[in-house]
Structure 1
Amino acid sequence: MSYRIIIADDEPKIIQLIRQLGHWEELGIEIIAECHDGEQALRCILEKQPDFVLSDIKMPVFDGIELIQKTREHDMDTLFVLLSGYRHFEYARSAIQLNVMDYLLKPIDEKQLNETLDKVCRQVDQLRGQKESHLRLSRFETQKGEEQLAELFWLLIDRQPEDVREFEKMTPRQCNAAYHTQFGRECYQVLCTVSNLSGMLEQKDSLFSEKVTGFIQSCFKDLAVFYYHATFQGHIILLNFNEKDKNEVKEAVSVLYYNIQDLSEAYGNFRLNIGCSSIKYSNRELIKAFLEANATEWGRLIFLGNSVIEYGQLEKLPSFTLADLISPEEESQLLDSLKYLREEELSDLFAEVYKRAGKVNNANPESMNRAFWGMYSKIINSISLGTEQDRFHERYYYAYLEGRNFQQVMKNLYEVLEKFVIEEQQKLKEKLGKPLGEAVKFIKKNYMNQISAEDAAEAGNISTTYLSRLFKSEMKIGFTEYLTKIRMEESQKLLSETNYSIKEIAVMVGYTDEKYYSKLFKKGMGIKPTEYRRLYG
């Protein structure tokens, strides 16, 4: 380990003597500067950051005591050893209160000098160890704090029922302990910023993102406790402020909006909207505030153009539900068209949804938000996306982001779903080969009819024998078993989600004989259809 020292004395002969007497190489000490007055010494200390300084107590400009004081004013913990003539001995002793490590009397003794240097080196080692420990602890606490805060934002976005119930019981103190926040003022508000430059917002190291986070900090630093989180959509901002400052906070939100909007000079025109929740008076209402802010941002579909939109502007607008947009029966058709890759059925269905969306173009944006994401929840719970779920989510969201009104959002959504069906059809063809892919597609589309292996083979333009061989080799199952599997999957859904009788369901999935259907169901599921309904209906 090496150590860096500055020697300061107005007598060159003393410095030369110190150089001769010190065991520098043995102790691992490097002399990085020699100074002849206090001013020069301070300049070198600030520039070169030595581990310790060996300084005469009496020097021109300012003495050793003043040198230590001025060094401490720069928040440096450099160690000092003072040199003193006998007449300055008591003066040197008084310097101990300035954390002087030691002092040496002139004339300098070789043994005493090197014992002191060794002692100082050991103290440097100890201080370095303490600094490293503090640094590791600080990094750990910072990382832990960031992780805790990230958990709060994830709670707002994900909203698992158990987590929500626990959060809504928390006092501000409990919330601060759990999420590394510093809530304690009366008012809470959530802002959601959304931009079609969202890709740049999510990249924390991008210049655009740095600018935006800088604006957030400058706008709220003197008004509120604030926390922000970047997503691919924009930013979620949590504010906690005093009641008396609410008007100033409102003005700060406008300043933030215009500051970000001014970046269009560098990045070209882009969309920007900020949705503001109503003011809440408890940390327990933060989830509600987030939902308000998120829904309020949808107000751009009504007010058009870029703007700051407050939740209060939307409250009196008429509401609607997902069922007004798509009936339960149509919803089932939609999920089937995605599950079984029926492109034409999807197109016909969305033609109706598009018309209805036009009738609610001026409804409450909160209703639009709920219907849009309500449909999303049903879709992802119905189809298997695997590793593609993040990509599907992003495409789904962009259907909203690129829409100018709700009807256009629905048109964009149809294009997203149509693309999904086409891509899945292509994957199926590549996986199974075109003939088998066409046969599987035919079965999924016609399972409710009386179809045979010959019908499926004809759809794939191959012989029945070859189709049977393909099913065995590629699907690891025979044609009849596969058809039964598809019919039983549909049966489970009808039994759990509808009130159709067992006989009606049997017909709906392709069986005219109820008893035969029930026998097949029990064979595949282990229980009768009536028992399945009792358990899952």
Structure 2
Amino acid sequence: MFKLLIADDEARIRKGLKNSLNWSDMNIEIVGEAEDGEIALKIIEDKKPDIILIDICMPFLNGLDLIEKIKSSVSNSIIIIISGYDEFSYAQRALKLRVFDYILKPVDSKMLEGVILRATKELNKFQEKRNYLEWTNKHLEENSSALKQSFLNNWLSGKLTHEQLIDELDFFNINIGKDVGLIVIKVVERLALGVAIKSWDKKMLNFAIINIACEVLNKPEPILTFTDDDGNIVVIMNIDQNKSWHNVGALIEEKIYDYLHYTAIVDQKKVSNILTVRDCYISLINDINKKTQYKPVVLLVMKYICKNYCVNDLNLEKVSKEFNVSSSYLSKLLKQQIGMSFIDYVTSVRINKAMCIMEDPTVKIYEVAELVGYSNQHYFCKAFKKIMGFPPTEFRGGISN
């Protein structure tokens, strides 16, 4: 039922209004009477009536002032003024306050009935609209995950224009900053390494991997996590000066194996422009797809190097013994599959890690060298220039400019 408040300083007027119509037949319940504006205000705040019959001239707080006070808190309430003042100034102010109707005393019951019927018709429209909005919001909430998944796949498959991308990000309330980290995770189930693997439902496995990624990133919820059409798990996040960003891929791989006994290939890149996220994603997918064609021992050696690149005496013989293969066989295999010798691959990993570290201006060049496994700054600078074509100081200068 709709709730009705009668506010008038005269008791006989209030009684007359109560008895003038069969309110229950009109699906209306009288929830309160008020003899002055302050009492009316308290009832309105407590009961939130749908229809308010209000006199202009009341003690303490007159009707028009009361309407101004309550307009924002009961925006969907219908306010009907009942007044003995047939003056244009009152009617004009009532119109500005957007009251539903203005009835002069003495009140004609037929006229009142007509106004109330129009009011209930309007309230029914409000209710239908509210019900529809609640239904759409519930439907949207229930399907939010699927809608977001569809948006992300459309984005990374190049189906969205720049304007559509911005609109969709705004719709899903996704805020992407200047420095964006993109991580792609692919599970390689054929690499069990002799450990009994639990048979996981694909959705549950992906859910577990996303939780592991969030744990490593130390963020309860990155900007976006989803699974693309090829089953790759994609994480998009704001880096926010995360100094450990360059190590997160190796940590995610390690924890996936430790917790789930699955081997995963994880690649990551940082981008500084939202428009290049798709190109970065394609590049990562291509790199990962190449790696899935490598022999298991090559993948394991690459993981080992990515984890131990900071060890100063990392060498071919040591790694060969770790995987129980001859150094000549491993050297030949690396050259065949990744197109680099062992030392060249180690150097490339170290230089890439060094460039990530150098984004932090507080870390000195000699400290960078030590962090990536070089015993002295001179040897590091020589290796850096050989790969990049310029010294690390020039690279750092380019970042700051």
Structure 2: 5+ residue stretches without partners: 186-202, 209-213, 249-258, 261-265, 308-321, 324-401
Q: 1:227 to 1:91 in 2, by over 3 A?
A: farther
Q: CA deviation at 1:201?
A: 10
Structure 1 counterpart SS, 2:16: helix
The CA distance in 2 between the partners of 1:65 and 1:230, in whole Å, is 58
Q: CA deviation at 1:12?
A: 2.5
Q: CA deviation at 1:145?
A: 6.3
> Contact 1:57/1:82 (CA < 8 Å) preserved in 2?
yes
* Number of the residue aligned with 2:163: 173
* Number of the residue aligned with 1:66: 65
The answer on 1:97 being equivalent to 2:39 is: no
* Number of the residue aligned with 1:189: 181
Q: 1:41 to 1:78 in 2, by over 3 A?
A: same
Q: Deviations over 1:60-79 (max 9, x none)?
A: 33222222222223362211
Which of the pair has the greater relative contact order for Cα pairs under 8 Å at 6+ separation?
A: 2
Q: 1:126 to 1:76 in 2, by over 3 A?
A: same
Task: Report the TM-score when normalising by structure 2.
Answer: 0.50
Q: 1:200 to 1:49 in 2, by over 3 A?
A: farther
The CA distance in 1 between the partners of 2:47 and 2:56, in whole Å, is 21
* Number of the residue aligned with 1:283: 275
Q: CA deviation at 1:171?
A: 3.5
* Number of the residue aligned with 1:238: 236
Structure 1: 5+ residue stretches without partners: 157-163, 204-208, 218-225, 258-269, 297-318, 326-352, 366-405, 408-537
The answer on 1:21 being equivalent to 2:13 is: no
The CA distance in 2 between the partners of 1:109 and 1:252, in whole Å, is 77
Structure 2 counterpart SS, 1:86: coil
Q: CA deviation at 1:359?
A: 4.9
The CA distance in 2 between the partners of 1:358 and 1:201, in whole Å, is 22
- Equivalent residues in 2 for 1:4-403 (5 A)? 4-74=3-73, 76-86=75-85, 90-136=89-135, 147-153=146-152, 167-168=157-158, 170-176=160-166, 188-190=180-182, 202=207, 216=221, 226-229=223-226, 237-239=235-237, 249-250=240-241, 277-286=269-278, 288-289=280-281, 322-325=293-296, 359-360=301-302, 362-364=304-306
Q: Deviations over 1:404-457 (max 9, x none)?
A: xx98xxxxxxxxxxxxxxxxxxxxxxxxxxxxxxxxxxxxxxxxxxxxxxxxxx
Q: 1:95 to 1:191 in 2, by over 3 A?
A: farther
* Number of the residue aligned with 1:435: none
Give the residue type in structure 2 aligned to 1:7: I
- Equivalent residues in 2 for 1:442-457 (5 A)? none
Give the residue type in structure 2 aligned to 1:173: E
Structure 1 counterpart SS, 2:9: coil
Q: Deviations over 1:464-512 (max 9, x none)?
A: xxxxxxxxxxxxxxxxxxxxxxxxxxxxxxxxxxxxxxxxxxxxxxxxx
Q: 1:252 to 1:78 in 2, by over 3 A?
A: farther
The CA distance in 2 between the partners of 1:51 and 1:200, in whole Å, is 51
> How many pairs does the alignment contain?
268
Q: CA deviation at 1:282?
A: 4.2
> Contact 2:3/2:31 (CA < 8 Å) preserved in 1?
yes
Q: CA deviation at 1:56?
A: 1.4
The CA distance in 2 between the partners of 1:32 and 1:152, in whole Å, is 48
Q: Deviations over 1:118-144 (max 9, x none)?
A: 221122122223333444555566667
Give the residue type in structure 2 aligned to 1:281: N
Give the helix-richer structure, 1 or 2.
1
Of all paired residues, the percent bearing the same amino acid is: 20
Give the residue type in structure 1 aligned to 2:241: K
> Contact 1:190/1:286 (CA < 8 Å) preserved in 2?
no
Structure 2 counterpart SS, 1:81: strand
